Chains A and B, each alone.
Chain A
Amino acid sequence: MGKVTTAYLLTCAAIGVAGGIVLAAGWSLSLAMFVTMPFVSVAIAGLWVLPAVVALRLLQRPFAGLLVGLISGLVLAPFYTVSAVATTLFWSFFPELPFLATLYRRWATWLHYAGAVTIGIAYPILAAQSFDLWSMSPPLLVGFIALCAASCVGGTALGIVLADRLRAAGVARLARHRATV
């Protein structure tokens, strides 16, 4: 693991834990929504991409998003069982995807949004499969997808603002530093 510094690993852990604490609140909110009105619960889907977006934007290092996803899942696991890890990894994979595709050569802002749109559309389709939403009426289904996409884009925008503020506050210098020896 030559070039990966401890500061990078632990900074991702910190973002993951802080994200997990926020998600724990979001999760119960979305569960409550899910129980009553399943499709509205995706309105806060953007919350799930937030930690990964913050990490990628702030650190601009490969795999930061996935690592943060893994950690926040582990933190949530005692409350929401091991499936939490799968969930958060899934949600963190998409913010990471555009950068992976460009082999981490570019860190342009629009790439963040590209990831957001991808998951905003992919998730409702996958969710429809697992919750069997295909049986819903079509307008409801379209609204479901639109809501989810909008939420993911919104979450990404918030993540970008948050990361930029943190950077303005001089945070995470160590993690951006590359190991020299």
Chain B
Amino acid sequence: MTSASRGADAATAAASAPQPVLRVRELGVRHEGADADAPASATFDVRRGEVVLLLGPSGAGKSTLALALNGLIPHAVPATLTGSVHVDGLDTAMTPVAQLSTRVGMVFQDPDAQLVTGTLLDEVAFGPENLRIPVDEVLARGEDALRRVGLWDRRYDNPDLLSGGGRQRLAIACALAMGSPLLVLDEPTANLDPQGIEEVYAALAELVTAGDRAIVLVEHNLDAVVAITDRVVVLDHDGRTVADGTVDEVLRARAAELHEMGVWLPISTIAALRLRSAGWRLDPLPLDSDELRAALEAEDAPATVTPGAQPTEACSTAPSGRSYAREATASSEPLIRVRGLRTCRGRREILHGIDLDVAPGEFVAIVGANGAGKTTLLQSLAGVVPVPRGQVTVDDVDVGRTDLRTLSRRIGFVFQNPEHQFIAATVFDELAHGLRQQKLPHDVVRARALEVLRRFGLENKADVHPFLLSGGQKRRLSVGTALVAGAPVLALDEPTFGQDRARADELMHLLSTLSAAGTTILVVTHDMQLVTEHAHRTIVVGEGRIIADAATPEIFADDELLRSAGLRQPPLRRAFAGVTRHPELGGITRLADLPGAGATVVTP
């Protein structure tokens, strides 16, 4: 079923259903202590059976809006609300959250933060029990909800035993068990591996085909959701509704405008926009890999394109993986050398014999399923977890023997949650800490710290408490603290976690620049497109072992390997792999390699 026909279905449904499930009018929310409304003025409706995708740049107030939809704002969260939200005709400002909970089900970003009880069945029963529903019906609802997300067979398990994707499906089941006609999901797949994401969207697609639930989705990863979306609502920077319509009307017709605004689009759409600027027609604009491939197959290449010339020009900052890897291994001594590494946490051995060499200046991505041991591997290299002697050397220093202070000058480590590593009370002191440790003179410390602040766009935040920064700013600060001391190696654990794609992109470009200047970069991430865009080399980890270690393009050429490791092809590769009519496009995997990559649509 295509998005277009789904839109038409929804339109006919809308005509027959008089009252929308959700009616948001000029909604403005101001958090206590904030100086502006975010969102400032959101207006839209959701009707029964509809899937509405809510887009907007980071800080537009999407999460805040989601909290207002079931009355958590203003009842539970200190914030003032202007405008109105009506659910099934009830004004959320006047109706208790408990009453609204039977009409709006919520699924949040962090699956762990939604678990209350000890078994899956107790968990789905938790909501209905709060509503004093009789035991028989609680069980019936629980069974129905668990079956819908495919977890019924595991009903007596502890939710902690589920994978990230499984727990998020459980959260969806819990929302379903409340019996609400409207489901609101705020970035439900942000920390899942590609397989987990696939599972969650498969479960949602099931619901959509049943047609009895309306869904409001906030999601940065558009490639996964366009297939099930009927309508798209877009908020601008201030949180005003600037677009509200079917997928065709908004995503296809106004893609360039949205892209300009910093709203992310499906990777295939971004690619198509670039191709258009290189002279391709591509009309209608494709929204996923299949559509892009089909559109390319249906069209002749524009005359202006000189195949083969542009790609090499476009990616001058990051040499293509294959050639780079060869060059690197041939020319220099490894900077990081790992031999037979076995790392234990507690009494459990997590890594079972890892061999690895990293040359200076390499940009290495470490990928794998949730729980594969990526974090443990990265932490072993940096000496964050104790490693046996003689198994890891960085810059000729044995990590198992050296104290961390000496080591921290050689390798800068960025933890998954930046808040964990902040040790000072202001942003400036946070940056100055590493420099002061090197006993540098006062004015040098100041100059260098300010330089980093400027580079990361934090100069007006110098005196702010690090915890009060926004998520994106915290992440940039943590990267800043890792590199201010001038370490030749930078190790980052999921640097794009919880970030929108624009910020993720900004950060990765920074890392690429550092890499080009000679810094060795190691990154753990779940974002396969990002890996293809930036990493020279990719290491696939599975169950504590290295399953594959090669130049990035080679890894992604092996579909079987990816699937067995719980990974998936990045969308661009999926689109171009099957293109037969234009062989010059066949091998393209990175946006930067597209013809027209230098044109206006490139993100700043």
Using a CB–CB cutoff of 8 Å, the interface residues on chain A facing chain B are 5-7, 165, 168-171, 173-174, 176-177, 179-181
Contact = CB atoms under 8 A, between A and B. Distances in A.
Contact of B78 (A168, A171, A173, A181): A173
A170 B75 contact: no
A170 B33 CA distance: 10
B468 interface: yes
A177 B465 contact: no
Contacts of A7: 76
B547 interface: no
Nearest to A178: B78
A180 B75 CA distance: 6
Contact of B465 (A5, A6, A168, A179): A168
B75 A174 contact: no
A179 B77 contact: no
Contacts of B78: 173-174, 176-177
B419 to A, nearest CB: 9
B76 A165 contact: no
A87 to B, nearest CB: 27
Interface in B407-436: 425
A171 B465 CA distance: 12
A169 B468 contact: yes
B75 A173 contact: no
A5 B74 CA distance: 13
B76 A5 contact: yes
B425 A165 contact: yes
6 contacts: A170-B465, A170-B467, A171-B467, A173-B77, A173-B78, A181-B95
Interface string B68-85: 000000111110000000
Contacts of A6: 76
Q: In the complex, which of the residues B76, B77, B425 has the most CB atoms of chain A within 10 Å of its own CB atom? A: B76
Contacts of A165: 425
Given A165-B425, A168-B425, A173-B32, A181 B75 contact: yes
Contacts of A180: 74-75
Nearest to B99: A181
Nearest to B468: A170
Contacts of A176: 78
B71 to A, nearest CB: 8
B96 interface: yes
B75 A179 contact: yes
B435 to A, nearest CB: 23
Interface in B84-109: 94-97
A181 B467 CA distance: 31
Nearest first, the 3 A-B pairs at minimum CB distance are A169-B467, A177-B78, A181-B96
Contact of A174 (B74, B76, B95): B76
Nearest to B97: A181
Interface in B15-37: 32-33
Interface string B449-479: 0000000000000000101100000000000
Nearest to B31: A173
Contacts of A5: 76
B467 A177 contact: no
A169 B32 CA distance: 14
A161 to B, nearest CB: 11
B333 to A, nearest CB: 44
A177 B77 contact: yes
Nearest to B422: A169
A13 to B, nearest CB: 12
A6 B76 CA distance: 9
Contacts of B76: 5-7, 174, 177, 179
Q: In the complex, which of the residues A7, A174, A180, A181 has the most CB atoms of chain B within 10 Å of its own CB atom? A: A181
Contacts of B468: 169-170
A7 B72 CA distance: 11
A171 B76 CA distance: 15
Nearest to A5: B76
Given A177-B32, A181-B97, 11 more contacts: A169-B468, A170-B467, A171-B467, A173-B78, A174-B76, A174-B77, A177-B76, A177-B77, A179-B76, A180-B75, A181-B75
Contacts of A174: 76-78
A179 B75 CA distance: 6
A168 B465 CA distance: 7
A27 B113 CA distance: 29
A6 B77 CA distance: 11
Contacts of B33: 170, 173
B96 A169 contact: no
A176 B33 CA distance: 13
A78 to B, nearest CB: 15
Contacts of A171: 467
A181 B94 CA distance: 8
Interface in B303-352: none
Nearest to B419: A169
B265 to A, nearest CB: 33
Contacts of A170: 33, 465, 467-468
A169 B425 CA distance: 9
Contacts of A169: 465, 467-468
Contacts of B74: 180
A179 B98 CA distance: 13
Contacts of A181: 75, 94-97
Contacts of B425: 165, 168
Contacts of B94: 181
A135 to B, nearest CB: 44
A22 to B, nearest CB: 17
A23 B97 CA distance: 36
A174 B95 CA distance: 19
Nearest to B98: A181
A107 B75 CA distance: 25
A176 B77 CA distance: 10
A181 B81 CA distance: 15
B433 to A, nearest CB: 17
Contacts of B467: 169-171
B390 to A, nearest CB: 32
A5 B77 CA distance: 10
A180 B97 CA distance: 10
A6 B97 CA distance: 12
Interface in B31-47: 32-33
A5 B72 CA distance: 11
A169 B94 CA distance: 32
B63 to A, nearest CB: 14
A173 B33 CA distance: 10
A165 B95 CA distance: 36
Contacts of B96: 181
Contacts of B97: 181
B422 to A, nearest CB: 9
A176 B468 CA distance: 18
Nearest to A177: B78
Contacts of B465: 168-170
B509 to A, nearest CB: 30
